[in-house]
Amino acid sequence: MSSPAPRPARARSAEEKHQRRDDILRAAERLWTSTSYAELSMNQVAREAQLAKGTLYLYFDTKEELFLALLSEHLHRWIAATAALFTERQPRTAQQVTDILLYQAEDLIPLRRLLVLLGTVLERNVRPELALEFRRDLDAQLRRLVGHMPYPPATALRVLRHLYAMTIGWQQFSESLPGTDPVTAQIRTPEQTDLYSEFELALRAIIEQLAAQEARPANAS
């Protein structure tokens, strides 16, 4: 059975170009559910998107650039959803803040896997100006999220930094466990530790401590 013929190389209108770019991202995302990053090639993405390889390079110069765009998309979605939840629930306690961040952390394996790639592969192998643009955009997005949190900006940023570091650390740890699927990072053996419960325990302790520091009078010893 022959594969579908590639679509025309040129997308002419802005809408067509946006759709073509989205098609490429969705193709890469589908492949990444069954193929590790190291094994995934731009040729495979082009075939999955039903495009000529040359067309793919009109939108992304490298695989790293493609996955950085995919990460940016996932982060925008997570930040928007988390900010909306803070607005809806109006948390006041450390427990309520942690509840929101834990709720938003469930079922985010693709984002966590992309964050692991960010520091190890993506930023090291994209054009410096593209990496800088990504960091500036992320900083602006996070500052908007900080504005929805019930803490001063400095404390809210500390919460998010700890969340980021813990997310990467626990994801890397989960991928290294025996019996873990190397692509999805899902633990397949029932006797493995419940990593989500461990992550929750650590995050609650950190946010409780940060909130306590914030509530402590400035002149307290």
Dump pLDDT digits (tens) for 52-67: 989 999 999 999 999 9
Phi, psi for residue 144 in degrees, rounded to 5: -70, -40
Each residue's pLDDT tens digit, 109-131: 889 889 999 988 998 899 999 99
191 and 209 belong to one structural domain: yes
Chain segment 10-58, per-residue pLDDT in tens? 657 888 889 999 999 999 999 998 888 999 999 999 999 999 989 999 9
Domain end (from 10, 45, 60) = 60
| pLDDT bucket at 191, cuts 50 / 70 / 90 | very low
8 A C-beta contact, residue 46 and residue 7:
no
184 pLDDT band, cuts 50/70/90, is: low
* Locus of tokens 């629930």: 89
CA-based nearest residue to 29, from 59, 67, 2, 1: 67
- The boundaries of the domain holding residue 79 are 61-215
Query: How many Å apart are CA 174 and CA 180, to the nearest integer?
Result: 7
- pTM of the predicted protein model: 0.84
Could you tell me if residue 221 is inside a domain? no
* Helix/strand/coil percentages in the chain, nearest 5: 65, 0, 35
> What's the mean per-residue pLDDT of the chain?
86
CA distance 164 to 171: 11
Check whether residue 84 and residue 158 sit in a common domain: yes
Q: What is the arithmetic mean of pLDDT over 96-100?
A: 96
In-domain check, residue 220 = no
Q: Residue 167 and residue 184: Cα distance in Å, rounded?
A: 15
Q: Are residues 67 and 56 in the same domain?
A: no
